[in-house]
Amino acid sequence: MSRELIEIEAVGDGWLVRSGDACQVFVTKFQAIEQAYMLATRRYVQTGCPTGVQVPVSGSGPVIVGTCG
């Protein structure tokens, strides 16, 4: 089963958390990661589908953190 990813990206003055068509903006990267992990955990508990959080890293490609399942 493929892992569903909740994505985080820098936007303007904050950080965007994208889950499917739903988006939320947070002031700090930490807040965005925390919220994305909570979404990933909830999705895993509800569906049993493996989830994770994809976070951008400066000078590198994105990293998957906070995996569930």
Residue 68 pLDDT level (bands cut at 50, 70, 90): very high
Give, for 59, the enclosing helix (H) or strand (E): none
Q: How would you classify the pairing of strands 22-26 and 51-55?
A: unpaired
Q: Which residue has the higher pLDDT, 66 or 53?
A: 53
pLDDT of 1 higher than 80: no
Structural domain tally of the chain? Answer: 1
Length of the chain in terms of residues written: 69
8-57 pLDDT, tens per residue? 999 999 999 998 888 999 999 999 999 999 999 999 999 999 999 999 99
What's the pTM? 0.89
Range of the domain at 23: 4-68
